[in-house]
A and B are shown apart, each in its own frame.
Chain A
């Protein structure tokens, strides 16, 4: 190390001598020659590289500016080693770097292109409204529902399945509930999504628009008793399908003590912030 530094010093001193010599030479030579000499000298000293071109990739959709953490990153309250969740998160981020998984909520309209060995052109495109987001970690799923030719179809997609080629958000919005399974018992107009729908432009900042639509239901019986308080559904027009007496009868199944149950509390705010900062750091690398 000491020998290297000595050699460096000698090198720098020799460079300085050379520069001095060059300066003296320039003064002695005439102006035209001086110019030629100066041009020559400008090529040899420190090379200044040209500024890096700023590449704006318009093909990839811009990332959201909102502080949004996808719900499958938040680990459930379990007695497993947190190392498992952190390894899973690394894998999830690795997949997200390849495939852009946008921000969406239950009630948003998505188009998913999936690789299918059986389909013509190998790619199968399905457009639908997201009715449910479930699962944690790599097994996170979302269910898309649409009505095609008067037939209701639902497909449960895995977010991190390698068969998925593209996920586009055609309309970003939230609904009054997280789980829109009641759309199965609602009138078909609420589940129909035009497969050739153009993407509705949405802002990357500010609040996600909340659609306060209250859905009209088919006559009872429904697949589940949606009026019961355990489902806590805000987005159905119960006054059109149920009598107030039936609503009161449904309240018999209310469990008001659950709100005060301390063992069921799972405050994820700090965990969320921590994971969000971690994920943003990893994604920006």
Chain B
């Protein structure tokens, strides 16, 4: 009886009684403004840094835009396996403008400081609007296998 009251006082936390079917015991907030600080992202290239398992998922710690919101084509700074690494956003869950694709996960490609990708192949489809950035990220586009 006291427990539900306590849980109501914690904003954003949901303590659920166990049911027959397994459920998560924390609440997941809905999609915020695309990618910002502390968002968990999915690295989609085949680099070793992005694919080796770690007890913490890669998180964004800085977004290199005027406002702290990252959309497709923006650079971000990730914290992966205890190291800082720059990355390029190649897709997010937030619906963008019409005729552009919306992905089911926040996808990110690891990048060096000069803009060269760390991995050698990207299996996941990439939005075609990235092709506009031929000059900066031409190497990333070269390793992409399919465009949506």
Contact A148 to B125, CB < 8 A, known contacts A119-B147, A243-B20: yes
At the interface, yes or no: B19 with Cβ under 8 Å from chain A?
A: yes
Q: Note all chain B residues with C-beta closer than 8 A to A241.
A: 21
Q: Looking at chain B's contact residues, is the secondary structure mostly helix, strand, loop, or mixed?
A: loop
Closest to B131 in A: A118
Closest to A141 in B: B98
What 1/0 mask marks residues of chain B from 65 to 91 whose CB sits below 8 Å from any chain A CB? Answer: 000000000000000000000000001
CB distance from A50 to the nearest CB of B (A): 48
Closest to A116 in B: B128
Q: Which stretch (A88-96, A149-157, A172-180) binds chain B? A: A149-157
Q: Say whether B148 contacts A153, CB under 8 Å.
A: yes
Q: Say whether A221 contacts B24, CB under 8 Å.
A: yes
Q: Say whether A114 contacts B23, CB under 8 Å.
A: no
A interface, size bucket: 20 to 34
Contact A153 to B99, CB < 8 A, known contacts A119-B147, A219-B22, A220-B23: no
At the interface, yes or no: B107 with Cβ under 8 Å from chain A?
A: yes
Tally A-B pairs: CB < 8 A. 81
Q: Say whether A155 contacts B147, CB under 8 Å.
A: no
Q: Say whether A221 contacts B23, CB under 8 Å.
A: yes
Q: Say whether B98 contacts A151, CB under 8 Å.
A: no
Q: Say whether A151 contacts B107, CB under 8 Å.
A: yes
At the interface, yes or no: A158 with Cβ under 8 Å from chain B?
A: yes
Q: Note all chain A residues with C-beta closer than 8 A to B23.
A: 219-221
Contact A151 to B124, CB < 8 A, known contacts A118-B132, A223-B30: yes
Q: Say whether A156 contacts B95, CB under 8 Å.
A: yes
Q: Say whether A184 contacts B104, CB under 8 Å.
A: yes
Q: Say whether A148 contacts B148, CB under 8 Å.
A: yes
- Residues of B whose CB lies within 8 Å of any CB of A are 19-24, 27-28, 30, 44, 91, 95, 98-105, 107, 123-125, 128-132, 145-148
12 A-B contact pairs sorted by A residue (CB < 8 Å): A118-B128, A148-B124, A149-B125, A153-B148, A154-B95, A154-B103, A155-B100, A161-B99, A219-B22, A219-B23, A220-B24, A243-B20
